[in-house]
A and B are shown apart, each in its own frame.
Chain A
């Protein structure tokens, strides 16, 4: 057969067309699959990954959907996503309101993972970050209504660190205190026991992915009082601080107010122990003047 005979030309054309057909057909399938993959990275807010799970982007490339974490969870917390679930098929997750994570000391689910999709470097369950609890509804939370439910606070495995009860005056009654459950994200592991045990029909406290739960300060932000604590002294030269006169209505008084006309400073008011209580009785920068 000569290399340029009509027959080889036809064969070559056929080969090219066949390849093009395959590439285009399979390419379309691939495009659909790729877009689906993109979507699958959007984990629903209430689906939580097991402790130590890599960030969702990496997790979907690392997890081989074997279910060993599910098997080694003693509390049947985890399940593998079924095809109809809004979680990438076959990947492990749990729903805190159904069965929360019991935070086993030995973290068997992480140990079972054959791929490091659950990071084996996580050996202290208190360092897990499955999510962050957020007291999401201030209108129905019983403690926000002024009652003493406290259940989420009581069940928290990291009680008094991850959730504290912060006392504020109950302005409705004018004579009681409200004990507001307050989550401290640096200690919250996202186990979901608070969400599970919330006594309401729909939980007022929920574990959300950290990305949803947390705000983020601008990188350049500095919190003055913390910087001051770190430095051990004020960051500005206080001797050069000038207290400008406050304009006050006739006869009014303002705690801590320095009146240049009389040279007097009103007494500062603050809760004992609070940082506000430490407001200098003298206006800063005017030490010893009055």
Chain B
């Protein structure tokens, strides 16, 4: 990746080809989802309209729909405490939803920290910051394991003592206090210390949802992968770029076009920034290695 390639902004080709709106479609939808959910939570305390009570750890919508964060509930379980029926129903609903749409949809469509780290990633790219401390993407799974073992040993819902995700979300709804410093430190960490450091390497919440969505049917897929012109924009914009290569470049190895890695957050940014419309949302089952004939791709991409 030479410097010359980077003179162009990520997705500039897509904007030229498809127009700004279509080149930002999924990003806009995602922001609407993230801020919409936050807005629903804020309607109560700010305007007195109580549609949703609670926060991301547990919420109760219109007095009928309980939603429980399964990771927090699991930590609570390992301390030896079984929640109330309502809490358990909430776990079941949330788990079945993410089993279907992909666990890390939580990260990219719901989590408020995603906005912070996306902003850091964007600024990092704009400022051309290159250096980054290396840390394995497996680290988060170790942290996840540690929080579960730690919860069992201490009898405390361990990660909740410092969880920046719930700190920020709870802070915005119940009063921020010093929680903004935590959000700021994550922003600066991602910006200067480690590219995509928090969500991509450290956060056990994301790791948990990854595991949850291991077999989810809704996936980003690259059916038009033969149209790829190697512009690298998808790799540049992707928060988990390691997930793209097998699907995009795997045809000769007989690998299907569906992005199967559970690390994929289904954010859809690769779909946005691709000027050749290589990617789309699809199902994991349509994954035969050579599903689309080359001729069809060529005629379509024009």
Residues in chain A within 8 A of chain B (CB atoms)? 18, 22-23, 25-27, 29-30, 33-34, 36-38, 40-41, 57-58, 60-68, 70-72, 79-80, 82-85, 88-90, 112-117, 120
Taking the closest CB of chain B, its distance from the CB of A193, in whole angstroms, is 24
A-B contacts besides A26-B143, A34-B154, A115-B87, 11 pairs, CB < 8 Å? A25-B139, A29-B146, A30-B147, A33-B158, A34-B150, A60-B156, A61-B157, A65-B57, A83-B178, A90-B57, A116-B82
Are B161 and A37 closer than 8 Å at their CB atoms? Answer: yes
A67 to B158, CA, bound (A): 18
Residues of the A chain whose Cβ atoms lie less than 8 Å from the Cβ of B84: 113-116, 120
- Within the complex, the shortest CB–CB distance from B84 to chain A, in Å, comes to 5
- Please provide the chain B residues from 159 to 188 with a CB less than 8 Å away from any CB of chain A in the complex: 159-162, 166-167, 170-171, 173-179, 182
- Give me 9 A-to-B residue pairs in the complex whose CB atoms sit less than 8 angstroms apart, sorted by A's number: A30-B147, A33-B159, A57-B155, A63-B157, A64-B83, A68-B58, A88-B161, A90-B167, A115-B84
CB <8 Å contact, B136 and A22: yes
The docked-state distance in angstroms from the alpha carbon of A36 to that of B147 is 13
Q: Are A62 and B81 in contact (CB under 8 A)?
A: yes
Question: Among the listed B53, B81, B162, B174, which residue makes an inter-chain contact with A58, where contact means beta carbons less than 8 Å apart?
Answer: B81
Q: How many residues of B contact A (CB 8 A)?
A: 57
- In the bound complex, residues from chain B placing their C-beta under 8 Å from that of A68 are 53-54, 58, 60
Contacting pair A65 B86 (CB below 8 A) = no
A115: chain B residues at CB < 8 Å are: 58, 76, 81, 83-84, 87
A34 to B175, CA, bound (A): 26
Within the complex, which residue of A25, A38, A57, A82 is in contact with B179, where a contact is CB–CB below 8 Å? A82
Considering the chains assembled together, what is the distance between the CA atoms of A36 and B158 in angstroms? 9
Residue from B69, B136, B149, B150 within 8 A of A64 (CB atoms): B69
Q: How many A-B residue pairs have CB under 8 A?
A: 155
Please state if A64 and B73 are interface contacts (CB–CB under 8 Å).
yes
A62 engages B54 (CB within 8 Å): no
Residues of A within 8 A of B59 (CB): 66
B142 to A26, Cβ gap below 8 A? yes
Interface core residue of B58, B147, B176 (most chain A CB under 10 Å):
B58
Measured between beta carbons, the chain B residues less than 8 angstroms from A29 are 143, 146
- The answer to whether B160 and A33 have CB atoms under 8 Å apart is no
- Complex Cα distance A26/B146, Å? 7
Contact across chains for B142 and A22 when beta carbons are under 8 A apart: yes
B162-A33 in contact (CB<8A): yes
**Hey, which chain B residues are within 8 Å of A88, CB to CB?**
156, 161
Nearest neighbor of A85 in chain B, beta-carbon distance: B177
Of the residues A33, A36, A66, contact of B58 by C-beta under 8 Å: A66
**CA A218 – CA B149 in complex, angstroms?**
38
**When chains A and B are docked, how far (Å) is the Cα of A41 from the Cα of B157?**
11
Residues of B within 8 A of A25 (CB): 139, 142
Interface centre among B82, B139, B146 (most CB of A within 10 A): B146
B167 partner residues in chain A, CB cutoff 8 A = 83, 89-90
Pairwise interchain contact A37-B136, C-beta atoms closer than 8 A: no
* Residue from A26, A83, A113 within 8 A of B182 (CB atoms): A83
B66 touches A114 (CB 8 A): yes
Q: What are the residues of chain B within 8 A of A30 when measuring CB–CB? A: 146-147, 149-150
| C-alpha gap A65/B255 in the complex (Å) | 44
> Is the pair B175, A114 in contact by a Cβ cutoff of 8 Å?
no
A104-B156 Cα distance, complex, nearest whole Å:
29
CA distance A120 to B82 in the complex (A): 13
A82-B178 contact given A26-B139, A64-B83, A71-B53, CB 8 Å threshold: yes
Closest to A60 in B: B156
* Residues on the B chain within 8 Å of A18, using CB: 136
What is the bound-complex CA distance between A175 and B271, given in angstroms?
A: 91
A57 and B80 CA atoms in complex are apart in Å by 12
B42-86 residues with Cβ-Cβ distance < 8 A to A are: 44, 50, 53-55, 57-60, 66, 68-69, 72-73, 76, 79-84, 86
Which one of A66, A84, A120 contacts B177 once the chains associate, using CB atoms below 8 Å? A84
Return A61 CB to nearest CB of chain B, in Å. Answer: 3
Binary contact readout B114-155 vs A (1 if CB under 8 angstroms, 0 otherwise): 000000000000000000000010110011011101110111
Report yes or no: A41 in contact with B55, Cβ–Cβ below 8 A: no
Cβ of B268 under 8 Å from chain A: no
**Interface flags, B211-246, vs A, CB<8A=1, else 0:** 000000000000000000000000000000000000
Distance to closest chain B CB from A85 (angstroms): 7
- Name A116's contact: one of B83, B153, B154, B158 (CB within 8 Å): B83
Cβ of B112 under 8 Å from chain A: no
Asked if A114 contacts B143 (CB within 8 A), the reply is no
B162: which A residues are within 8 A, CB to CB?
A: 33, 36, 89
Q: Is the CB of A23 within 8 A of B142?
A: yes
